[in-house]
């Protein structure tokens, strides 16, 4: 997808997150259990009445979530949930199998019942490590209706293989610990982006051997072994295809003693899901394997939906490990109507999903507004972006649907089906300006976006400005030869700051990349930057942020000093 360097929240939270990232965490896990057998589904006694109710509820669901108005309360409150009532406590270790009412194999819980994961994908952990913590995950569980978190772990783009392994290892451990304590499922995602994963297969082997051995007895861990490959056929007999890579990494995971679900990426940013059926890993005896489909509602319409339907009809187990309600750039137009059509199709086929992305980066795919300070949960309605509002409405509606099915005593009156009872509309309510294609509207990149998803709500500007801005700066994620810096500007007055802002500061390195601001000049390590056109006005109570990547000598510590604004 769309993955780029991001924006950062309140300086104190960033600094604290950086310290946490380098710390070790405990080893007592509330839901840790002995190794589970992949045959556990066959050993379970399935409640056929409950299975029928679930299938009927899912197959009749039609999504109609709003992105403008919350239908549920989001106050930042948390719940005291007993271990046996958490998602993992209720559903246990997951596997892949068949379930009455659904055509293709799907996720099955420890009781043999079909089960849908509804998850949050982080942004790149090397850029936004501060959101990987128990407080953030608990808010997603308790108020957002989620039961899973996906950790996006880039091998490249300044990630795991490019100087950030220590930090990212710490965040994996913290993330799995948090999810385990909360009884949530967690996906460890080797976030390959825009290349053939065979290029880093040796390193992927080491990574997955390490974590499969570490978490082989955990009921809540899932492995995603290549996020969005490109230019690589699923199978062509070349020994350099995706089948070869996935078989190789799956073998490593199984040899390490883990029978966890494995998610395999597909070609063209995980869109070519229909190619898998010609050569699935099950042909070589592998179990608990699923294949990923990714979509962005502002870009992907009938063409990709038809690929999904073809794959399901062929018996391919599908997992949507990443999607967004905007276009494939991550910062383009939002199509709520098409997003709802997608969720209808996924739910009626019991397909699990994770939405991109948990952060406050100034783009339309982010759950949180840039003014949302907290990185540890406790978010309220005013913190949510359009994506955040839609996501809460969607997940809570599904949570309510399933709760009703679980408590209902009525028997289904019709045979459940895997196809919608009426074909959902696959086009937005208004015709898109360009013909949808299978390719993203622009090539996904790791460069930051410069336009926010929406403009802030703008009250009438006062005739005379007496506004002042205060600044906070922070550096985190120092990997020796580089670091990430962020500066926040806050207007705590009752007047608007008009006509743009200019910030001067010194650094211990040179800026390699900057987002949400533009460099006016620099002499040595002294920089002058100014606002973009869209964030030049800072309204009363508003905060704007900009960030940058520093290149520096490994012998020096990254720092931002002498910050002034005018």
DSSP secondary structure string, 445-477?
A: -SSPP-S-SSPPP-PPPPSS----EEEEEEEE-
Active-site residue among 56, 174, 224, 322?
A: 322
Nearest to 283 by CA among 316, 256, 313, 308: 316
CB atoms near residue 564 (< 10 Å): 10
CB atoms near residue 322 (< 10 Å): 31
Active-site residue among 143, 174, 224, 228?
A: 228
Write down the H helix ranges in 314-444: 336-348, 386-407
Whether the model pTM is above 0.75: no
Rounded Cα distance between 411 and 290, Å, is 31
**Residue 364: pLDDT over 80:** yes
Confidence band, pLDDT 50/70/90 cuts, at residue 322: very high
Whether 213 sits among the annotated catalytic residues: the reply is no
Rounded Cα distance between 91 and 337, Å, is 32
- In this structure, what is the dihedral angle of CA atoms 497, 6, 381, 63, given to the nearest 10 degrees? 130
In this prediction, residue 148 carries a pLDDT of: 98
Q: DSSP 3-state helix, strand, coil percentages of the chain (rounded to 5)?
A: 30, 20, 50
Rounded Cα distance between 558 and 391, Å, is 37
* Two structure tokens written together for 209: 């051997």
Rounded (5°) CA angle 278-312-354: 110
Task: Match 């000598």 to its residue by tokens.
Answer: 553
The per-residue pLDDT for range 429-484, each reduced to its tens digit, is 333 333 333 333 333 333 333 333 333 333 333 334 467 888 888 876 677 788 88
Whether 205 sits among the annotated catalytic residues: the reply is no
Rounded (5°) CA angle 188-545-295: 40
Confidence band, pLDDT 50/70/90 cuts, at residue 46: low
In this prediction, residue 167 carries a pLDDT of: 95
Q: For a pLDDT cut of 70, what percent of the chain falls above it?
A: 81
Strands 118-124 and 353-358: parallel
Give me the mean pLDDT over the 362-367 stretch. 96
Point out the least confidently predicted range of 114-123, 126-135, 247-256, 456-465: 456-465
The per-residue pLDDT for range 271-316, each reduced to its tens digit, is 999 999 999 999 999 999 999 999 999 999 999 999 999 999 999 9
Handedness of CA 474, 477, 479, 483 (dihedral sign): negative
Task: Match 């994770």 to its residue by tokens.
Answer: 354
């Amino acid at each position: 997808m769309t993955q780029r360097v991001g924006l950062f929240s309140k300086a104190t939270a960033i600094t604290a997150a950086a310290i946490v990232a380098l710390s070790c965490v405990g080893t007592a896990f509330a839901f840790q259990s002995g190794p589970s057998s992949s045959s556990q589904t066959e050993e379970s006694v399935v409640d056929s009445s409950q299975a029928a109710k679930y299938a009927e509820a899912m197959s009749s669901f039609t999504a109609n979530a709003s992105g403008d108005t919350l239908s549920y309360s989001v106050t930042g409150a948390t719940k005291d949930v007993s271990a046996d009532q958490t998602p993992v406590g209720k559903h246990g270790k997951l596997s892949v199998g068949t379930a009455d009412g659904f055509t293709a194999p799907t996720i099955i819980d420890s009781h043999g019942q079909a089960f849908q994961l509804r998850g949050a994908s982080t942004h790149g952990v090397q850029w936004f490590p501060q959101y990987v913590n128990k407080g953030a995950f608990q808010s997603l569980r308790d108020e957002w209706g989620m039961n899973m978190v996906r950790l996006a772990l880039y091998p490249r783009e300044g990630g795991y293989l490019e100087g950030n392994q220590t930090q990212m290892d710490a965040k994996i451990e913290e993330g799995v610990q948090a999810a385990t304590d909360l009884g949530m499922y967690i996906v460890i995602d080797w976030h390959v982006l825009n290349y053939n994963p065979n290029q880093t297969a040796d390193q992927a082997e080491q990574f997955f051997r390490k974590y499969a051995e570490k978490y082989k007895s955990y009921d809540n861990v899932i492995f995603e072994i290549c996020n969005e490959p490109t230019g690589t056929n699923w199978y062509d007999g070349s020994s350099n295809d995706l089948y070869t890579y996935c078989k190789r990494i799956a073998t490593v995971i199984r040899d390490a003693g883990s029978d966890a679900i494995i998610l395999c990426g597909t070609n063209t940013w995980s869109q070519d899901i229909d190619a898998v059926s010609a050569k699935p890993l099950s042909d070589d005896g592998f179990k608990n394997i699923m294949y990923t489909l990714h979509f962005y509602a502002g870009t992907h319409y009938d063409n990709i939906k038809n690929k999904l339907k073809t794959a399901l009809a062929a018996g391919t187990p599908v997992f949507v490990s990443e999607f967004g309600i905007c276009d494939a750039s991550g910062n383009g137009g939002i199509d709520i109507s098409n997003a709802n059509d997608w969720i209808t199709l996924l739910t009626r086929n019991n397909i699990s999903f994770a939405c991109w992305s948990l952060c406050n980066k100034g783009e339309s795919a982010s759950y949180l507004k840039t003014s949302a300070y907290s990185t540890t949960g406790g978010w309220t309605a005013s913190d949510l972006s359009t994506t955040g509002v839609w996501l809460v409405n969607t997940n809570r509606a599904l949570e309510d649907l399933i709760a009703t099915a679980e408590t209902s005593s009525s028997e289904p009156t019709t045979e459940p089906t895997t196809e919608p009872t009426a074909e959902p509309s696959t086009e937005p309510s208004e015709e898109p300006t360009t013909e949808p294609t299978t390719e993203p509207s622009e090539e996904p990149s790791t460069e930051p976006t410069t336009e926010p998803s929406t403009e802030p709500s703008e009250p009438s500007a006062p005739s005379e400005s007496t506004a002042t801005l205060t600044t906070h700066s922070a550096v985190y994620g120092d990997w020796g030869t580089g670091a990430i810096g962020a500066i926040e500007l806050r207007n705590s007055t009752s007047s608007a700051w008009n006509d743009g802002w200019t910030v001067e500061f010194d650094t211990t390195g040179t800026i390699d990349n900057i987002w949400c601001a533009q460099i006016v000049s620099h002499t040595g390590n002294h920089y002058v930057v100014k606002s973009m056109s869209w964030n030049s006005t800072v309204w009363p109570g508003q905060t704007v942020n900009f960030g940058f990547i520093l290149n520096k000598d490994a012998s020096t510590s990254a720092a931002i000093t002498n910050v002034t604004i005018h």
